[in-house]
Structure 1
């Protein structure tokens, strides 16, 4: 568990790992339709990979407007702070790029996780791909 690294990924070079994780979590586990999972933003986004001993186990992406999304950790690695490591890397990169506000759409069950990282709920609950979500916002100081 202590061998977790997070790095910025290359959408082309790391595509197989990024797709493998997102397909396992969002499409297989959560039944998100593939046409909703893959979008034009992927080409422009900054992607992140969490790796344990070189094996990709988690992913996230950051858009130019500060929107964070597609945060996913493979089931066997959940509860091991992989999500924390991923999010800290994404927030640090957002701040490095001068993005003073980071936004995300969180599944309702994950809101406490994001609140610990400084995000606040800024919307009513709504359904996305059949899953309850809320919008959340974090402001850098």
Structure 2
């Protein structure tokens, strides 16, 4: 179901999901969505039983751990438990690389979801791409 992106096609799948969710749905400019961290990040893509991509996320080294970013699930697959499975997969891969802390900037409306996974807020709400976010951390 979830795989580390290892081919150009898998990266294209990840980018297409992000474009659908962040650019089309949320209005993030494409030039801000694809960034300078693409090449250093570990990207993950979720595929359904028909091998159709439906989810993505990435993480990269950050301070004393990793920063999980660009977590996205296409609209037809939301509210089905797949977000939790995606996060578990991302966390497992990061833990296997011996990172002690998991950090992310959650869209504020998703804060309860991340709290249910053991993340805690740090700092204040801030705007990124005109969307309210909050920094969160999970110690392993």
Q: TM-score, normalised by structure 1?
A: 0.93
1:96 aligns with 2:64: no
Residue 11 (structure 1) shift = 5.9
Of 57, 60, 69 in structure 2, the residue corresponding to residue 60 of structure 1 is 57
1:29-108 aligned within 5 A:
29-53=25-49, 54-65=51-62, 66-108=66-108
- Counterpart CA distance in 1 for 2:127 and 2:7 is 28
Paired position in structure 2 for 1:7: 3
- The secondary structure found in structure 2 opposite 1:13 is helix
Structure 2: 5+ residue runs without aligned partners? none
> Post-superposition, which runs of at least 4 consecutive aligned residues in structure 1 deviate over 2 A?
10-13
Asked if the contact 2:54–2:74 (Cα under 8 Å) also holds between the matched residues in 1, the reply is yes
- The secondary structure found in structure 2 opposite 1:89 is helix
Q: TM-score, normalised by structure 2?
A: 0.94
- Counterpart CA distance in 2 for 1:13 and 1:29 is 23
Structural RMSD (CA): 1.0
Structure 1: 5+ residue runs without aligned partners? none
Residue 9 (structure 1) shift = 1.1
Asked if the contact 1:11–1:43 (Cα under 8 Å) also holds between the matched residues in 2, the reply is no
Asked if the contact 2:4–2:42 (Cα under 8 Å) also holds between the matched residues in 1, the reply is yes
